[in-house]
Chain A
Amino acid sequence: MLQFIVRRILWAIPVLLAVTFFTFALVRAIPGGPFDFAGDRSLPPSVVANLEAKYHLSDPLWQQFCSYLIGDTVCRPGDDSGRASKGVLLGDLGPSFRYRGRTVNDIIATALPISFQLGMMAMMLGIGIGIPFGVLAALKHNTWIDYSATLVAILGVSVSNVVLGPVLIWFFALKLGWFPVATWAAEPLFSGIADKYIAASEQIPMWVNIIPKPTVDFFMHAALPVFALGTALSATIARMTRGSLLQVIREDYIRTARSKGLRERAVVVRHALKNSLIPVVTILGPMFAGVLTGTFVIELIFAIPGLGRHFVNSIGNRDYPVVLGTTLLYGVAIVIANMLVDITYAWLDPRVRLE
């Protein structure tokens, strides 16, 4: 197990290097640059040249890539601007070109916990609704329960969040006034405790922000976006669970279990469910990685300051370090999610050996 994890992490290194390289190349291949516009005015060429020189954009590309990867001290000796990057390998994702004075690490540290909270709750809701409804639909195959669950699932998959989000806001926030219209209201659970141990000068580490204080305000704000995102996820999960369970329930070993005189519940729970979750887990991995690192549409509609918008806006802004940083973060999330998927396989199916 430990050997498997270590090997997986070692394998992830070339993958992430390749991701870095190709993203770097692709984003530089897009026409235009980060300083073409400021607001809706274009900047004079001399200012652009100054800014590009400040961020070393006039250097040869190989040197830029080199210093992005392993830091200015190695690739740009003699830089004494005081803003020398330590390089991605040491966890320094560089400065943002658009958000003056903020580093990409800063942006991720403030935005990721919010997306993570939203994504985590949405996943829990998605799994919590999706798997039971999928099982129910499969067990009541070809009855009205199955048909209505399938109908709801198809609706959930096909009604976009662009539609569902505003409808929820209009009905539950504006008409009924049960929930706030938008924004996020998370206070770090450990902020008081952490303050005692972290010197004021130091930056508050990200993990402090990830776990929210479970206040009423927090959950009221979270309700609508979590519902919108969670139901969309649950639709996919339910369809997958239903299909998979219907297949498993026809297996010979299910007949064997029935021939022993087990109750239908025991047959399903003990003999069918574990087998049928294997394909479901496969889709949960990438889903997890995608949702936890931020969802553009939901965060935009509910004005949640998560990471989702940085994925999209940074490309329009040609904010190269943010594009690279978010892409890399997503890459890391995918690698970890797939590793967890494989570990779950081994737990579900004894024929899978982690080697």
Chain B
Amino acid sequence: MATLLEVKGLETQFFTQDGVVHAVNGISYTLDEGETLAIVGESGCGKSVGVMSLIRLIPIPPGKVVAGEVWFDGKDLLKLSDDEIRQVRGNRIAMIFQDPMTSLNPVLTIGKQLTEAMQLHLGMDKEQARKRAVELLELVGIPGADKRLDEYPHQFSGGMRQRVMIAMGLSCNPQLLIADEPTTALDVTIQAQIVDLVKELKEKIGMAIIWITHDLGVVAGIAERVIVMYAGLIVEEAEVHDLYGKPLHPYTLGLLKSMPRLDLGKDAKLIPIEGLPPDLVDFPEGCPFAARCKYRVDRCFTENPPIEYVTPTHRVACWRWEAVHEELKANGGSHD
């Protein structure tokens, strides 16, 4: 598969009154055409800022992409003019957001919000755009589409609004859809519906997806490859079954252990990761996870481990990944 997106050394910072917040600290990854990549990590680890930096949706000021390259379709998105990046946004790369309750404009009809990108990017007139909007709403499973176009967001439920957001994202046939925690604000049954919907649409349309979440349960169902982020850094990247079966970073292991599982019986306890993520203003020397890590050694506090490939598809940023690996093998290859 051809590479669709290549991110190199992306660094984003926010210049606030309390100092410089190091939100994203030099991340690199690639994405193939039609691939689904999940980015996981806890709140504030830089997942959202990392993807919003790609299409320059970071509010400037206070935010700024201070270093890096984002290669998409032979161009570095960070070097495009404002006009050029606008032609990418919503057209080649579309984005759907976390909270469908607040992400739609309350005073405009769904139809207006759905058609404006098509009129802008595809040069459709009102009638054509409306016709396609009806098709899109049907595609994302909203019945009575023609009538519902004239309704306002408050007349839709949360799940329905997220379907509208997805329809909006797909309206210009993007090559890449960025989904920023699209299921987090929804209840579990609706979450499952939305995940299924996106999977189904991906099969039909074939766009690549970057799916951001903090829910490893959702990841397993949708992604082919997973990036784990911590404190603005990629700490581990692997194919999805490798990440669940053979996690190498103590943080990934911690995330997996803190996940509720149906197959372990009701007496199984969740094991939380103790402590808090580091302060992104006063960034620690050494590994940012060291203070919370069971496997740490002295070196972890002085030197931040670089991310290195352990197998051709699995990379990790940890001095002690072998110890994690050995322990898991001793436990019969399971992290339970």
Contacts and interface: CB of A to CB of B under 8 A. Distances in A.
Given A252-B97, A350-B152, A351-B152, A259 B106 contact: no
Nearest to A275: B107
Given A255-B57, A261-B117, A271 B105 contact: yes
Contacts of A348: 107
Contacts of B152: 350-351
A40 interface: no
B108 A271 contact: yes
Contacts of B13: none
Contacts of B102: 251-253
Given A253-B104, A271-B105, A260 B154 contact: no
Interface string B53-67: 001010001000000
B99 A259 contact: no
A57 to B, nearest CB: 56
A129 to B, nearest CB: 25
B116 interface: yes
Interface string A261-278: 111001000110011000
B120 interface: yes
Given A252-B97, A260-B116, A349 B107 contact: yes
A256 interface: yes
A256 B167 CA distance: 13
A349 B107 CA distance: 5
A259 B108 contact: no
Interface of A: 142, 251-253, 255-263, 266, 270-271, 274-275, 348-351
A5 to B, nearest CB: 22
A284 B49 CA distance: 39
Chain B interface mostly: loop
Contacts of A261: 86-91, 117, 120-121
A266 B91 CA distance: 16
A256 B120 contact: no
19 contacts: A142-B61, A252-B102, A253-B103, A253-B104, A255-B103, A256-B97, A256-B168, A257-B105, A259-B97, A260-B94, A260-B168, A261-B91, A261-B120, A262-B120, A266-B116, A348-B107, A349-B107, A350-B154, A351-B106
A350 B107 contact: yes
A350 B91 contact: no
Interface in B70-107: 86-91, 94-95, 97, 99, 102-107
Interface of B: 55, 57, 61, 86-91, 94-95, 97, 99, 102-109, 116-117, 120-121, 152, 154, 165, 168
A258 B99 CA distance: 16
A160 B168 CA distance: 51
Contacts of A263: 86
A75 B154 CA distance: 55
Contacts of B103: 252-253, 255-256
Nearest to B94: A259
A298 B90 CA distance: 53
A259 B95 contact: yes
B269 to A, nearest CB: 37
Contacts of B86: 261-263
Given A252-B99, A350-B152, A351-B152, A260 B117 contact: yes
Contacts of B88: 261
A61 B188 CA distance: 70
Given A260-B168, A262-B117, A275-B106, 10 more contacts: A253-B102, A253-B105, A256-B103, A256-B104, A258-B57, A259-B89, A262-B90, A275-B107, A349-B106, A349-B107
Contacts of B120: 260-262
Nearest to B121: A261
B238 to A, nearest CB: 29
B17 to A, nearest CB: 13
Contacts of A350: 106-107, 109, 152, 154
Contacts of B105: 253, 256-257, 271, 275
Contacts of B154: 350-351
B116 A262 contact: yes
A270 B117 CA distance: 13
Contacts of A253: 102-106
A142 B59 CA distance: 14
A14 B86 CA distance: 57
A259 B97 CA distance: 10
B116 A270 contact: yes
Contact of B89 (A260, A274, A351): A260
A344 to B, nearest CB: 13
Contacts of B57: 255, 258-259
A142 B15 CA distance: 14
A348 B256 CA distance: 48
